[in-house]
A and B are shown apart, each in its own frame.
Chain A
Amino acid sequence: MRIAVNGETAYCYTNSRDIETDKPTVVFIHGSGMDHTVWTLASRHFARHGNNVVSVDLPGHGRSTGSPLATVEEMASWVIAMLDALAITDAALVGHSLGSLIALECAASHSDRVRAIALVGTSSPMPVSDAILDAAEADDHAAFDMLTQWGFSKRHQFGGNRNSGIWMIGNTLRLYERSAPGVLFHDMRACNEYTSGTDQAAKIACPAMLILGAEDRLTPVRSTRALQEAIPSPVVEILPGAGHTIMVEAPNAMLDALHKVL
């Protein structure tokens, strides 16, 4: 579905359904350089389970027009503007990586609009290495390579996709390659510069869950300790064998975990 948000055309996947205001809504927010397709399995699932699903393409990503936004706070405001445009009063937010920071910021700054959050492959702060930032700034393919390889657990470097016929490394790399020049850099810088996450986390009043990959090398489990302490009583699910690309590496375990808060 395409709608106008802040003067640009925003795309969101809704499982080809209209939004019904009497249904609960789940919003899915992708990570850096990605688009809504990373959530296809999960959004189809929650659509069948009686929810409106809204799987967004952030500005400048996928099918949404406009420039990529500079900060997590701006991205959070954009998500709220999107809810306004769809006449949705409140929603559960599921975010991956950068998307998890956006969900966190929404829950802290717009608590009346957020029913629950699930932060997938998250950490706060989320420092990004200079090697990735520099390569992304130069639109160097090496940035895609680093994120693709480090984004999967060691065992998944050779694939082993439970979703038949898809070479998981290849599909993830292609999503990065499809991003417009500069987009990945904007996203990575926003992750790097969002340092207020743990302060914001303390304000969260809704149910919150962390879904972490036990073998995540980009946002390792140990780097989530501050966040786990800051959020009031979070539900934490650590998925064995998964790295950072949890939607691909552990799609079924992620769905089962999401049911605990959605």
Chain B
Amino acid sequence: MSEFKTVFGSLENYEKGHIEIIDDDPKAYAFSNIFEVANQSAPYEKVVVGKNLKYVIETLRAEGDSDWYTCAHDEFVVCMDGEIEVHLVKLNNSASYTPENKEGSVKLESDPEGPKMGRIILRHGHQALLPKGSAYRFSNRKKPGVLIMQTICGDHSVEKWAEICYS
């Protein structure tokens, strides 16, 4: 038995930190908590919780089935809570969905056409590659989970800083 207890957060159990200001504006830190954000999100809403110019980290509440998405560059997800299935399809004509220079996730209007690439079941702490030019969909029929996604700010990214940040 370990003498150390590693503390992770979850949708149901998290404790948000805080900022002690000496000579500063708390808004400088754009401080939020991904579990608090996911508790207030619609299923698979791509809420931006980190933004470094065009690059973003999004928090997604994983509940039920998501739409299908594709992207012209690699994206990555890390499962922070729950059990989330990722379905991957190689798009027959990926350039028709996303020009090479298009950045961010792109929602598909209909089911993807192309061969299945595989399927991944993510649990706590697991990371998956969403390879460029593929279509992907998340599925979670169990209790709601949380993903963080590394991507670029795109058409479906949602920014609501004033609602989520410590101020």
Please indicate whether A and B come from the same complex rather than being unrelated chains. Answer: no
Interface residues of B (CB under 8 A from A): none
Residues on A close to B: CB < 8 A? none
